[in-house]
A = this chain, B = another copy of it.
Amino acid sequence: MADARSVGAAVPQTMKFDDPLELTSGARLDSYSLMYETYGTLNAERSNAALVCHALNASHHVAGYYLDAEGKPCNFGWWDNMVGPGKPLDTERFFVIGVNNLGGCFGSTGPCSLNPATGKPYGASFPVVTVEDWVNAQARLADRLGIRRFAAVMGGSLGAMQALQWTIDYPDRVANAIVVAAAAKLSAQNIAFNEVARQAITTDPDFHGGDYYVHGAVPRRGLRLARMIGHITYLSDDAMMEKFGRELRGDRLGFHFDVDFQVESYLRHQGDKFAEYFDANTYLLITRALDYFDPAQRTGGDLSKAFERALARFLVVSFTSDWRFSPQRSHEIVKALLDNRLNVSYAEIDAPHGHDAFLLEDPRYHALVRAYYDTVWQSIEGAP
């Protein structure tokens, strides 16, 4: 339990914003709160801040742990293997910020928050938010924390999309973008999987058009299915075969529709767990933000042009077995960056775990990120 490389017990904080936020959709949030955590110390120059953006089901709780009623560590951060003292993103060097995105269900203002105008949960009335909106909200948080320019903005998957958006919308506020397991836009197949997940939720009779809170209901069936579908796409076929194969749970086939195979048991368990803690409306919002992400849309479909104003240095990482956002999708990003003569490092990690690889502690992957952060650190401190 006593991990010398842990940031230790994390303390989530809330920041309230009362100046209205104009959203991409045209809607407006008059006030909102963001839940965030920080690790490490902001230096006097305020030049060592790194923002870690989260993907679909994660939160501001990036590193460290919480303490249970008996004072024991529980609920470890979702990227605890990446962020901490002596870890690739070293909190002895960097001041790291994790923030729960707007629309989330872990403390930031979202569909399950009370709408001050009505005194009831937002529910279906919570506006659709985009990656741009999240980045704008994160920029305001940075303002309030006195951070003008991030040494790095980093994320995997949807988190990486936020890092990309930062370099486009706030070019002078990002020194480095670390973009892991990303795509510059979703494919039709990606959207299709999101759509089935959303349909599972919205057709659940307990969804009540998104206002299930006031009905005392939770669309658990739908959330559970959404998670099961998602989970299949996070793993590679090979990784699933390696992990579960055709292993039976019992000693013979059951000739029923209950669990026969280990993989069925695993998926049901993942779905059940997820439905206990995640908010269905947030799931809808986040998958929609994924669908809508397409920075080239503003530039007539030209991705290279989308990065015209970008100034950051980039580390782009993909994983060979990731079929959700395959290396091919990272190549598209790298090409667009190079078209703008930006400084780009690219690595394709030969890893068997599929999209989930970005969360795992692959030694080559971590060594690479560590080495990159060494260069970030040197650029802050000045080369020796």
Contacts and interface: CB of A to CB of B under 8 A. Distances in A.
Given A128-B255, A192-B232, A255-B25, A199 B187 contact: no
User: Which of A188, A195, A200, A291 has the most chain B CB atoms closer than 10 A to its own CB?
Assistant: A188
A203 interface: yes
A188 B244 CA distance: 6
A161 interface: no
Nearest to A203: B221
A72 interface: no
Given A246-B186, A261-B291, A196 B228 contact: yes
Contact of A240 (B27, B188, B221, B240): B188
Interface string A271-311: 10000000000001000100110100000000000000000
Interface string A45-65: 000000000000000000000
Contacts of A118: none
A185 B248 CA distance: 14
Given A284-B257, A294-B246, A232 B189 contact: yes
Contact of A232 (B193, B260, B288): B193
A127 interface: yes
Interface string A302-343: 000000000000000000000100000000000000000000
Interface in A231-287: 232, 235, 237, 240-241, 243-246, 253, 255-257, 260-261, 263-264, 267-268, 271, 284
A154 interface: no
A165 interface: no
A224 interface: yes
A284 B258 CA distance: 11
Given A232-B192, A246-B294, A288 B257 contact: yes
Interface string A197-240: 01110111100000000000000010011001100100101001
A349 interface: no
Given A224-B203, A228-B199, A268-B199, A191 B246 contact: yes
A225 B228 contact: no
Contacts of A193: 232
Number of copies: 2
Contacts of A25: 255
A5 B128 CA distance: 53
Q: How large is the interface on A (under 10, 10 to 19, 20 to 34, 35 or more residues)?
A: 35 or more
Nearest to A288: B257
Contact of A188 (B261, B291, B294): B261
User: Which of A195, A198, A221, A268 has the most chain B CB atoms closer than 10 A to its own CB?
Assistant: A195
A188 to B, nearest CB: 4
User: Which of A205, A221, A292 has the most chain B CB atoms closer than 10 A to its own CB?
Assistant: A221
Contacts of A203: 221, 224-225
Contacts of A264: 191-192, 195
18 contacts: A26-B255, A127-B255, A128-B255, A187-B237, A187-B240, A188-B237, A188-B241, A188-B263, A189-B232, A189-B240, A191-B261, A192-B240, A192-B263, A195-B263, A195-B264, A199-B228, A203-B221, A204-B221
